[in-house]
């Protein structure tokens, strides 16, 4: 049974989520205001969409005009509007005008137009790739109905990825491949993508400040294809160590990824501290309170690679490290979108089923985030609840209610097969995102 679940979780590598409904909480309205205020300028977002058009269909570079509009022009929501350009039919002038509240909305509008008016197909390579032969030449693009096409986003956020996608797919990607993926995200209307690349370079700086050595960290980080599990307290050291050049280059890559996501008006989700610490904590901080976790499917059952260390929430180092990690990211990237992913028990059983322990752990995770970023919201994968029968209502409730309502969002990660929202009274009131997984692309 366990191995069947493992297989499933191994194959589950591309995941898209969509929000079930508008989140109603004063903190979310505040967060939306911050996002609106901090979003890239209209001209940056319009330029980002123009760049996407140039990469996709350079022959039609002047056939479209893109314009950012206000939420009010969309009846208070996010939307795109496709219109015939007022100057259409004059030579070499734009034919189609696409307006949207963000660059993502405009890109989704461009995709809509190409798909429904020009019969084009825009997808991943394994699901048909980009097929644009049916798009008419500039000057003869199909007109849209006189009143235009108005499409309102039914949900505020469309999330993309699983924490393990980094290792299944992204470990081998260069900027060219990432650029293509971010274009794909924009076309699909994804506005809440995970942005996990390069985090080991940040961890390195943080842990060095806490006096951990390079060899302490060599035994902590996994190799590129296994980072997902060394990040989530499942394995350590396997496939490593990571060369410094790799760490540095991933950080450079992450900066490009984030910059492009922000240019489109997306909200990239950064990582946060889960309590996962190098084994050397015992020698560096002999008084630190730590627990060793159990064996998560270690390679050949060899305990050399498993049984990572979890800092106890009562240890003051917990919040110190959590805060430093957020601060180091903000320092390095110059900004944050205030939404942080963190999964302590993705496929690990907690050391205690005492709801008080679980609650204090959640509270320490959030306190670390919030001490580094006062507007922080914790985005948590709900996979643990489907995976491990450990999570009974008192334990679930303890974790979900360890932070104030409105400061956590849960991803109902397997919702189309085993929805948790139905059996947990809607995650006991914690806002959640319903999702659809796209599973084994490598079988195609
Ligand atoms: C790291 O070591 C230095 C020198 O021993 C010490 O002064 C400093 O407090 C240590 N840092 C932490 C975070 O413990």
DSSP one-letter string for 16-43: EEEESS----HHHHHHHHHHHHHSPPHH
- Determine the average pLDDT of the residues in 136-159: 94
Please report the atom of ligand 1 found closest to the CA of residue 320: 13
- CATH 3.20.20.80 domain span(s) along the chain: 167-435
Q: Is 285 a pocket residue for ligand 1 (Cβ < 6 Å)?
A: no
Q: Which atom of ligand 1 is nearest to the CA of 285?
A: 14
Q: Is the peptide bond before 241 cis (omega within 30 degrees of 0)?
A: yes
Q: In the prediction, which pLDDT does 442 show?
A: 39
One DSSP character per residue, 305-318 reads: G---EEE-TTSHHH
Mean pLDDT, to the nearest integer, of 369-375?
98
Whether the pLDDT of residue 443 is over 60: the answer is no
Fold of 167-435: TIM Barrel (3.20.20)
Determine the distance separating the centroid of ligand 1 and the alpha carbon of 210, expressed in angstroms. Answer: 7
Chain mean position to CA 425:
25
- For the cut 80, the answer to whether the pLDDT of residue 290 exceeds it is yes
Cα–Cα distance between 109 and 265 in angstroms, integer?
14
Number of C-alpha atoms within 13 angstroms, CB side, residue 412? 24
- Backbone phi and psi for residue 103, each to the nearest 5 degrees, phi listed first: -60, -30
- Separation of alpha carbons 317 and 275, rounded Å: 9
Cβ(82)–Cβ(96) below 8 Å? yes
Instruction: Give dist(CA 187, CA 284) in Å, integer.
Output: 48
Token digits of residue 199 = 């985090």
CATH 3.30.379.10: does it fit domain 2-152?
A: yes
As given in the structure block, the two tokens for residue 177 are 């491949």
Spatial CA neighbour of 404 closest among 21, 29, 25 = 25
> Is the Cβ atom of 210 under 6 angstroms away from ligand 1?
yes
What confidence tier does 438 reach under pLDDT thresholds 50, 70, 90?
low
* CA–centroid distance, residue 316 to ligand 1 (Å): 15
Confidence of residue 111 (pLDDT cuts 50, 70, 90): very high
97 strand-pairing partners: 65, 83
Per DSSP, the residues of 376-393 read: -EEEEE-HHHHH-TT--H
Q: Is 211 in the pocket of ligand 1 (CB under 6 A)?
A: yes
Please indicate whether residue 208, judged by its CB atom, sits closer than 6 Å to ligand 1: no
Q: Rounded mean pLDDT of the chain?
A: 91
* Closest protein CA for atom 7 of ligand 1: 211
Which element (helix H / strand E) includes 104?
helix 103-116
- Give start-end residues of each CATH 3.30.379.10 domain in the chain: 2-152
The preferred substitution site among 209, 211, 284, 328 for testing ligand 1, maximizing ligand atoms within 8 Å of CB, is 211
């Amino acid at each position: 049974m366990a191995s069947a679940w493992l297989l499933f979780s191994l194959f589950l590598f591309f995941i898209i989520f969509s929000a079930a409904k508008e989140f109603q909480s004063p903190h979310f309205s505040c967060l939306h205001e911050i996002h609106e205020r901090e979003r890239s300028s209209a001209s940056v977002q319009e330029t980002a969409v123009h760049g996407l058009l140039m990469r996709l269909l350079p022959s039609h570079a002047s056939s479209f005009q893109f314009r950012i509009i206000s939420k009010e022009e969309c009846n208070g929501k996010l939307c795109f509007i496709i219109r015939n350009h007022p100057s259409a039919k004059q030579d070499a002038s734009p034919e189609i005008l696409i307006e949207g509240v963000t660059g993502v909305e405009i890109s989704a509008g461009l995709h809509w137009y190409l798909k429904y008016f020009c019969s084009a197909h825009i997808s991943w390579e394994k699901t048909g790739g980009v097929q644009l032969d049916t798009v008419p030449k500039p000057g003869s693009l199909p007109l849209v109905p006189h009143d235009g096409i108005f499409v309102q986003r039914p949900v505020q956020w469309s999330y993309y990825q699983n924490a393990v996608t980094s290792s299944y797919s992204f470990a081998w990607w260069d900027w060219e491949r990432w650029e293509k993926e971010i274009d794909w995200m924009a076309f699909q209307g994804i506005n809440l993508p995970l942005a996990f690349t390069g985090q080991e370079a940040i961890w390195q700086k943080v842990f060095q400040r806490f006096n951990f050595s390079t060899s302490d960290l060599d035994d902590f980080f996994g190799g590129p294809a296994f980072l997902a599990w060394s990040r989530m307290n499942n394995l350590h050291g396997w496939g490593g160590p990571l060369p410094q050049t790799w760490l540095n280059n991933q950080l450079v890559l992450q900066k490009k990824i984030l910059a492009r996501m922000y240019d489109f008006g997306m909200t990239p989700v950064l990582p946060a501290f889960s309590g996962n610490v190098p084994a050397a904590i015992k020698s560096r901080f002999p008084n630190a309170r730590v627990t060793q976790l159990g064996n998560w499917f270690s390679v050949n059952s060899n305990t050399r690679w498993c049984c990572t260390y979890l800092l106890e929430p009562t240890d003051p180092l917990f919040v110190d490290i959590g805060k430093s990690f957020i601060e180091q990211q903000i320092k390095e990237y110059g900004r944050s979108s205030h939404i942080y992913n963190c999964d302590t028990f993705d496929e690990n059983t907690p050391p205690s089923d005492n709801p008080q322990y679980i609650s204090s752990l959640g509270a320490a995770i959030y306190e670390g985030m919030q001490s580094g970023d006062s507007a922080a919201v914790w985005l948590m994968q709900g996979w643990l609840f489907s995976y491990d029968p450990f999570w009974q209502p008192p334990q679930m409730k303890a974790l979900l209610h360890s932070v104030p309502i409105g400061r956590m969002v849960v991803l109902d990660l397997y919702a189309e097969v085993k929805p948790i929202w139905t059996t947990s009274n809607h995650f006991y009131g914690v806002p959640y995102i319903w999702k659809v997984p796209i599973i084994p692309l490598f079988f195609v």
